[in-house]
Amino acid sequence: EDQVTQSPEALRLQEGESSSLNCSYTVSGLRGLFWYRQDPGKGPEFLFTLYSAGEEKEKERLKATLTKKESFLHITAPKPEDSATYLCAVQAGGFQKLVFGTGTRLLVSP
């Protein structure tokens, strides 16, 4: 069974304090790994798609990387507006559906 595990469950940072979120996965035939951001009471907002080990994507203060077993979401010099839950999901095998991790709740204090 495909599994996605995110750590830490919650992370508290000071503004400007860089850190990384982890997403480890066990799947049969990874087709794509997706990162989303979710604000309370809203639907997830798409951030990145990664397809193969070694691939990296960047957007503003966020950078996503992928290896054969895990993905990292690096947050550089975060701001309070980066506070949200970050979700990782994988698409694997012959299926189009996404399998989600439980998310990392990030809180950035001024």
Partner 1 sequence: GAVVSQHPSRVICKSGTSVKIECRSLDFQATTMFWYRQFPKQSLMLMATSNEGSKATYEQGVEKDKFLINHASLTLSTLTVTSAHPEDSSFYICSASWRELAEAFFGQGTRLTVV
- Least CB distance to partner 1 at residue 17 (A): 24
Determine if the peptide bond prior to 40 is cis (ω within 30°).
Answer: no
Q: Which is nearer to partner 1, 18 or 102 (CB)?
A: 102
CA distance 49 to 81: 22
- Least CB distance to partner 1 at residue 11 (A): 15
**14, 42, 54, 60: residue in contact with partner 1 (rule CB under 8 A):** 42
HSE-up (13 A, CA, CB side) for residue 65: 8
The answer to whether 91 contacts partner 1 (rule: CB under 8 A) is yes
**31, 59, 69, 79: residue in contact with partner 1 (rule CB under 8 A):** 31
Alpha helix positions (H), the chain: none
- Over its C-alpha atoms, the chain yields an Rg (Å, rounded) of 13
Tokens of residue 29, six digits? 């035939």
Q: Which is nearer to partner 1, 65 or 91 (CB)?
A: 91
Contacts to partner 1 by CB under 8 A = 31-32, 34, 36, 41-46, 49, 51, 87, 91, 96-103, 105
